[in-house]
Amino acid sequence: MSASYLLLDRLVKSYGRGNAVDGVSLDIARGEFITLLGPSGSGKTSTLMMIAGFEQPTAGAILLEGRDLTGQPPYRRNIGVVFQSYALFPHMTARRNVEFPLLMRRLPVAEITARVDRTLDLVGLSAFASHQPRQLSGGQQQRVALARALVFEPDVLLLDEPLGALDKNLREQMQVEITRIHREVGITTVYVTHDQTEAMTMSSRVVVMNRGRIEQVARPLEIYDRPATRFVAEFVGESNVLEGTLVEAGRVRLDGLGVTMSIAGVRPGRQGRVDVLIRPERIHLVDRSQRPDGVSVFVMKVTSATQFGDRVLATGRVGSQSLRVRVAGAQGRDVREGIEVLVGWRQCDLHVIPESPAA
């Protein structure tokens, strides 16, 4: 990771009795696409608003290239912001909306024209420059808002749930577009969402937040494959969290299954109860006539089976443990409620959650 560009240093935001943001520290490199991911009330939007200057920290500091922004008003921070509501001027055309930040900065007319033309082209709206917001689709309005936030060449771009008002297909298209624009412009971006797909597909790193604190900061695949806490394991993607007991170094007894397994990555010296994660897609149906080497096999009684067309989500019980299994393709068509199936996984697909009870 390169040197710090945007630094959040022990940020606290208090509203009355509790802290909406409780000691958040984050080091962001120039050009990164960072996503703050978490449920409602996790503190992600309050953190974004403090970076923008719309909220002032109760404690802590915000530094941009070593310059302290804490206490400075928004108009002195050179930060672009895109909101879920777009916040476009309804009586202005797309071009006038994009021009507005440059007019406020009193730039020369020729420079304003060149920047607006270039930015509208970047977001694919050159042909719609004369349209007012009511004449544009939701996705086009979002592009205007994005162009307005980019046209004055901000140091940082902030996006607060920018795709929340769009339908699924349009949201997916805009994910691709925002990622493309970030790649072309290279601007440092902080993106807020509760949508896991947006976070996983768009980000350089994901910051998972809960109750005002950071649970984990990592690249998307590490967040998914190696969550640092039980909250992250259960919030990001679907999960099976198995209760286990460390019986010796590297060996965990899975209490609900009645078996003991060797699992890599257990911190030396740990003892007591642990949480063990296995993702539903890592559990496979096993042919009764073939038992692959290195695969632990169990009998599961199917209690429900939900068809999704290309896959089946089966829920069942192995011993006293409830399991969720994703079965893809034709193999899942015969899975139905009430039958027994063989399921299995490789031990390398198990992950001991570092911050589980024994930590």
Residues 116-175 pLDDT 10s: 999 999 999 999 999 999 999 988 999 999 999 999 999 999 999 988 878 888 889 899
| 4-231 has CATH 3.40.50.300 classification | yes
Q: What are 327's strand-pairing partners?
A: 312
Mean pLDDT for 45-49 is: 97
| Architecture field, domain 238-352 | Beta Barrel (2.40)
Q: Report the DSSP pairing between strands 18-29 and 4-15.
A: antiparallel
pLDDT band at residue 1 using 50, 70 and 90 as cut-offs: very low
Would you state the pLDDT for residue 195? 93
pLDDT band at residue 298 using 50, 70 and 90 as cut-offs: very high
234 vs 34: CA distance, rounded Å: 21
Q: Report the DSSP pairing between strands 33-37 and 188-193.
A: parallel
HSE, side-chain direction, 13 A CA sphere, residue 300: 29
Calculate what percentage of the chain has a pLDDT beyond 90: 72
pLDDT band at residue 357 using 50, 70 and 90 as cut-offs: low
CATH fold match for the domains 4-231 and 238-352: no
Residues 203-259 pLDDT 10s: 999 999 999 999 999 999 999 999 999 999 999 999 999 999 988 777 889 988 888
Does residue 270 register a pLDDT over 70?
A: no
Our CA angle for 134, 125, 190, nearest 5°, is: 90
Taking the domains of the chain in order of start, what are their residue ranges?
A: 4-231, 238-352
pLDDT band at residue 58 using 50, 70 and 90 as cut-offs: very high
Residues 177-200 pLDDT 10s: 999 999 999 999 999 999 999 999
**Among 227, 230, 262, CA closest to 243:** 230
Would you state the pLDDT for residue 249? 73
